[in-house]
Amino acid sequence: MKQYVIDQLRPEDYDRLKRYLDDRFAVSCFDGLYWVMLSDDLLDERQKAHKECQPHYFALELLPDRLSCELLVRTRERIRCDCIQYATEAQRNWLIQFIDAVLEKLAIMV
């Protein structure tokens, strides 16, 4: 799996990040797993055409020592579909910039 990983989180970093994610993003049935929705303008043509699969998400997994961000664009509506695919360059760049901005906002230095 391709991922963007922030590791070596300190306990206080984990706590701040968990509060932030809990307050802003959909939590899955698995503890520490969050869904970050992509805006429609980031979707590629196939994802835009699959209205029944929308919205599309990135999955983030927060563990006590790291944040792992899958670079796979998913839908919560289906397990398999050809619109579920690795992020385009624009989607990947958006996710990395998004995570970096959150870390900066929370003053988490990694």
For residues 103 and 106, give the distance between their C-alpha atoms in angstroms, rounded to a whole number: 5
Domain that holds residue 35: 3-105
For the chain, how many structural domains are there in total? 1
Instruction: Report pLDDT for 3.
Output: 96
pLDDT in tens, 37-77: 999 999 999 999 999 999 999 999 999 999 999 999 999 88
Instruction: Report pLDDT for 77.
Output: 82
Instruction: Report pLDDT for 8.
Output: 95
CATH number at residue 49: 3.30.530
The reply to whether 9 falls in a domain is yes
pLDDT band (50, 70, 90) for residue 31: confident
Instruction: Report pLDDT for 38.
Output: 95
For residues 82 and 96, give the distance between their C-alpha atoms in angstroms, rounded to a whole number: 23
The reply to whether 58 falls in a domain is yes
The reply to whether 23 falls in a domain is yes
Q: How many CB atoms lie within 10 A of CB 107?
A: 8
The reply to whether 110 falls in a domain is no
Percent of the chain with pLDDT over 90: 86
pLDDT band (50, 70, 90) for residue 30: confident
Round the CA-based radius of gyration of the chain to a whole number and report it.
14
The reply to whether 83 falls in a domain is yes
In a 10 Å sphere around its CB, with 0-12 CB exposed, 13-18 middle and 19+ buried, how is residue 3 labelled?
middle
